[in-house]
Homo-oligomer: A and B are copies of this chain.
Amino acid sequence: MAQQRDFDPREFRGAIGAFPTGVTVITTRDGDGARVGITANSFNSVSLDPPMVLFGLARSARSLSAFNQAEHWAVHILSAGQEALSNRFAKSGVDKFAGVEIEEGIAGLPLLAGCSARMQCRTAFRYEGGDHIIFVGEVLALDRSEATPLVFHAGKYALATRKSASLSLSQAATGEAGFDENFLGYLLARAHFQFYERVRENVVRHSLDDVEYFVLSVLSVQDGRDLARINAHFAYTGQAATPELLAGLCRRGLLRGGDGALHYLTPEGRQLTLELIAGAKALEAEVLGKLGEWDAASLRNLVKQLVLHTNLGHPHPWDEAAAA
């Protein structure tokens, strides 16, 4: 009944990598009481009653004898910010615990802080699994936080992002040539304008238009720019301030001209701008609150990637500030 395999190890690793997992660090103490820790994504739950989890450890791992002898071990489900910890515990030949904040758990288990969840276990079974040993542990104690977990997928770190509902109940088929709710250009325009619509309410309330608001915002990051440099920072919108618009803001006491046609915010102008930005940030907090902390982090992350990939060379307001 022996069957020949039709794939090589590289293909197997690729297929296994298609299964996304969290990342854990598993710690114990060796026979001499020294702290031992490894990074593993071959973790999973096994049983609810009694509560049991498992992980796989290579027969070739340096830490094998420590885990073979240890009665207890602790699983740490890493949070999104703990990429460095994952990398550190995946290496060998370094003092993995140096400088890491450690608490002591059951039987002196070294416990790491800042994880999404932690489970302290007692070995229940050790099973053969090819070139690995499968450790099954009964969970004796656990704690958790609301921190977004780190994800490992296709050999890279990732975040878990909740799946969305459809935009509207009526998903009319619009044919090959039309656009629908999956067209990114439409989604971005809706997202931008719907967000800005409520920022704009505040802007209009102060008798400002969009371009005037952009001018004030740009100067609030770095004061003292001339018209060309102001405009360079929102050229991406397709809009531009005119000398007349700047003169109007000066007449209203929000800007003052300076040497060499540079413009500066007056104290009144700075106060108003900070108020408008504070309003926009309050709106941001409200919107992101609806998404939840985890998806908000992913959204920022992806829109940043998009901005990087589509930038035709426009500066960011703080680029010039940093150069100045």
Judge if A207 is at the interface, Cβ distance under 8 Å. no
B residues within 8 A CB of A56? 44-47
Give the interface SS of chain A, mostly helix, strand, loop or mixed: mixed
Alpha-carbon distance A165/B314, docked complex (angstroms): 17
User: Is A84's CB within 8 Å of the partner chain B?
Assistant: no
Closest 3 pairs (CB-CB, A-B)? A47-B130, A170-B322, A192-B192
Residues of A within 8 Å of B, CB-based: how many? 147
Chain A residues within 8 Å of B, Cβ to Cβ: 1, 3, 5-7, 9, 11-16, 18-22, 24, 42-54, 56, 71, 77, 80, 83, 106, 116-119, 122, 124-125, 127-132, 134, 136, 138-144, 149, 151, 153-154, 156-168, 170-172, 174, 177-185, 187-200, 210, 217, 220-221, 236-238, 274, 277-278, 280-281, 283-284, 287-288, 290-291, 294-296, 298-312, 314, 316-319, 321-323
Which of B52, B129, B197, B237 is close to A130, meaning CB atoms less than 8 Å apart? B52
**How distant is the Cα of A50 from the Cα of B164 in the complex, in angstroms?**
39
A to B CB contacts below 8 Å, 24 in the list: A3-B122, A5-B139, A9-B51, A12-B48, A12-B51, A12-B139, A15-B117, A19-B116, A20-B22, A54-B134, A127-B134, A158-B161, A160-B160, A160-B161, A164-B305, A168-B316, A172-B318, A181-B304, A181-B318, A185-B195, A192-B193, A197-B238, A197-B312, A299-B306
Contacts of A294 in B (CB 8 A): 154
Return A29 CB to nearest CB of chain B, in Å.
16
Please report the C-alpha to C-alpha distance between residue A303 and residue B322 in the assembled complex, in whole angstroms. 30
- When distances are taken between beta carbons in the complex, the residues of chain B under 8 Å from A134 are 46, 54, 127, 134, 136
